[in-house]
Amino acid sequence: MSLPLVLAGRLLNLKIFLLEPNLVLGRANKFFLNSCKKIFCYTNKIKNFPDRYKDKIVIINPLVRKEFYKSSIVSTNNNKFTILVIGGSQGAGIFDNKLKHLIANLSNEFLIKIIQQTNEKNISNLKKFYSDLNIDNFIFKYEKDLINKIVESDICITRAGASSLAELSILNTPFITVPLPLSKDNHQFENANFYKDKQCCWIIDQSLFDEKIEGLLRSIIKEKTILSEKKEILKKLNYQNTWINVNQKIRDIIYEN
């Protein structure tokens, strides 16, 4: 959707600065590389990035909305292991259809709370399923107070959109990611692998979801040090990632060019 705006900027002879939040260069950004002054990226190891334009890369920390940087919320949920599931406002079929039975099984062994995003048509069905089993739940399509829900959670199960992973990371919430296999240029896997290489998360191939997810969750719930280690890694990764630092670096680059 940025293509017409950037095209208008080029026609008006405005300076162009691009942002590539994914670990694979997007088609629109590739089209405008020749015209831009700089392109902000999270790493210089972007897939499909032409070597002749690599001097235009400016590495910044992953961007999130200002309220995520300023969040001072502290989780008070100490009794139940809380699992957040983010599938987008349209839901993710693999999460909607397969996770609920896994959660039901785990609830026989552990105190669990489930916070799950799904499509509007599925909210009442999921809520009834969990409530009938006396599993504490919060089911939603859109939640304006998502920061609180992330902080409340011990772990998140999610796709691998760049913004979602950056938000989880800045709030130091460990996550299990199931990259969308049909994402363009497999960019969701590359996004997830960026964090996996830093030992911040787990990746499950969608084709192995049934086989892998229950055992992984059970081991995480049983062995509390696994999550605490991931949280410490995320804290170290983000300790300089503040709104002031990111904002200042972007402003400095724009003013220099």
Q: What string of DSSP letters covers 179-223?
A: --TTSGGGHHHHHHHHHHTTT-EEE--GGGHHHHHHHHHHHHHH-
Residue 145 has a pLDDT of 86
How many separate helices (H) and strands (E) can be counted in the chain? 11, 9
The residues facing 20 across adjacent strands are 41
The residues facing 24 across adjacent strands are 47
Beta-strand pair 201-203/175-177: parallel
Residue 90 has a pLDDT of 47
The one-letter code for the residue type at 87 is G
Q: Which tens digits make up the pLDDT trace of 63-105?
A: 898 888 876 556 555 689 999 999 754 446 788 888 999 999 9
Residues 6+ positions from 170 with CB-CB distance below 8 Å: 62, 64, 68, 69, 238, 241
pLDDT at 201 over 60: yes
The answer to whether 23 and 42 are in contact (CB under 8 A) is yes
The residues facing 158 across adjacent strands are 86, 177
- How far is it, in rounded angstroms, from Cα 233 to Cα 226? 11
Q: Which residue has the higher pLDDT, 244 or 38?
A: 38
Angle between helices 162-170 and 224-238 (to 10 degrees): 100
Encoded tokens for 96: 């909607």
Residue 78 has a pLDDT of 65
Encoded tokens for 44: 């210089």
Residue with tokens 């700089």: 38
Could you give the domains of the chain? Answer: 3-61+242-256 (no CATH), 68-238 (3.40.50.2000)
pLDDT at 138 over 70: yes
The answer to whether 155 and 142 are in contact (CB under 8 A) is no
- How far is it, in rounded angstroms, from Cα 20 to Cα 30? 10
Beta-strand pair 112-117/57-59: unpaired
Mapping DSSP to helix (H, G, I), strand (E, B) and coil, where does residue 121 land? helix
**pTM of this prediction?**
0.90
Residue with tokens 């499950």: 204
Q: Report CA-CA distances (Å) from 72 to 2, 26, 77.
A: 33, 34, 15
Q: Which tens digits make up the pLDDT trace of 100-114?
A: 999 999 999 999 999
Q: Sign of torsion, CA 101 183 16 252?
A: positive
